[in-house]
Structure 1
Amino acid sequence: PMKKKAPPQILRSDLLREREREMQRDVSSCNTYNYGDALYWDARYVQDALSFDWYQRYSSLRPFVRSFVPTCSRVLMVGCGNSLMSEDMVKDGYEDIMNVDISSVAIEMMQTKYASVPQLKYMQMDVRDMSYFADDSFDTVIDKGTLDSLMCGCDAPLSATRMLGEVSRLIKPGGTYFLITYGDPKVRMPHLTPSAYNWKISLYIIPRPGFKRPGGSCSSSEKSYLEAIPVTSEGMLPQDYVLEDPDSHFIYICNKMDEDVAQLPSYPLMADVL
């Protein structure tokens, strides 16, 4: 007898691309999903328990992490989900990573998975209220898509302000907020530059995974991505700057300065800054 033809399989890579598209929709579309709601994420992790890394994997981010985050740092990974990034960092020598997420489903899953890895700890927590931790508790806070997810939720600007206020409180002077986002300086700098944070910010831009230049040639060398991008006095990209990849990811390295440092520039929030 003839064998039945197997139904076409949906490739995991296609699923991952669709997830990333969700996060890059405009404001009206992304408000379809309440990314700031624990119930949304719990349901999502129950439905799909496969590990997933938003935007970039550790292998792509490693040159930046190793440059700005010493392996002895006490690291807070906000909105960890079921990402492999913390595991990969431990394999690379990092010794103390606290992971928090609003989803109890994700946290229980990760606590079980990494029960025998003392360098990794997991706690269910809303990043808008991390009062469990004392001031100046961490050397580094890493955020890969968590601020973006809040910007797609209800009360987006307020949620972002609460989260960033907590991040600033938790970072020691001299410490770093390491933000990976799809938001360019026009929409992210106003949120990152209130004088209360006292952050000195460096900007880097990397293409999305798998990006190739038109014509099939390879993209620029890794070294060029490690060069900080200068921003204008208004906090924007230079007028003549052209993104190699229109869907590039932006890395903001926000270094918390000492209290007596001269006031750093801030940029006004606009109604459409999401």
Structure 2
Amino acid sequence: MAADLSKIPSQQQEWPGRTAELDPQPDHGETSWVGRGRLTGKRALITGGDSGIGRAVAVAFAKEGADVVIAHLPEEEDDARETLELVRAQGRRAEAVASDLRDARANQELASKAVEFLGGVDTLVCNAAYQMAHDEIDEFPDQQVVRTFETNVFGPFWLIKALEDHLKGGSVTITTSVQAFSPSEQLLDYAATKAALNNLAVNLAAELGAQGTRVNAVAPGPIWTPLIPATMPPEKVEGFGADTPLGRAGHPIEVAAAFVFLASDEASYVSGTVLGVTGGKPIF
């Protein structure tokens, strides 16, 4: 049974955070997700796949029959290793690539490695993200703003560009955020990148539709991942997600369900849309 996320206690971690240190522990679908063969034979590349939403997507994809490559920062090696074990436990092929995807070359190299390992890429999940909260605009370091845009916007653009030919007839799903629709001042650079990604998804759906590539976005609300205590002050972490209509934060696997749908043939006529998984917070 998944832990109750309605009363998350105050806590803090060093960036980029560790899954094992989260209290309570999030559900990534390790035992809760039941596969139905919806992604049998698919070959998936998932960035930010070591923990949080990315881990849950990797686990759910594997349980649905997909082979998986995950990308992660070098600092996230321990979590990435655990994710690989979870995927391989489903009898699926899995590999991890340690890379900081803030420049075009890193994304091109990741694309090449994923294609080499999987024999191609049918579905791409652009999930890697960076954020750091501050109370006032003059507290945002210039380099942080650059890093946030490089990681969140430039990286997905370069990776999709590198894999364009391989994704014909396949799908791309980009992780955006409720922050794109209802931005918090403490996350002004992060929120701006997520709005940009919504626009990118819609534009790419139009651009790549002729080759049969579907492009969509998933906009999560407050989801309990290591990113939260690693990038927010403890007083903001306490009660995280309690302000949603459902009164709690979401588990990563609750978001992964949307990614499974969008990558599956069930979504064969779904492209250029943003699917919100927000606990009731509006995305329009």
TM range (shorter): 0.3 to 0.5
Which one has a bigger Cα radius of gyration? 1
Please state which structure has a larger fraction of its residues in strand. 1
- Which of structures 1 and 2 has the larger relative contact order (alpha carbons within 8 angstroms, sep 6+)? 2
TM, length-normalised to structure 2: 0.46
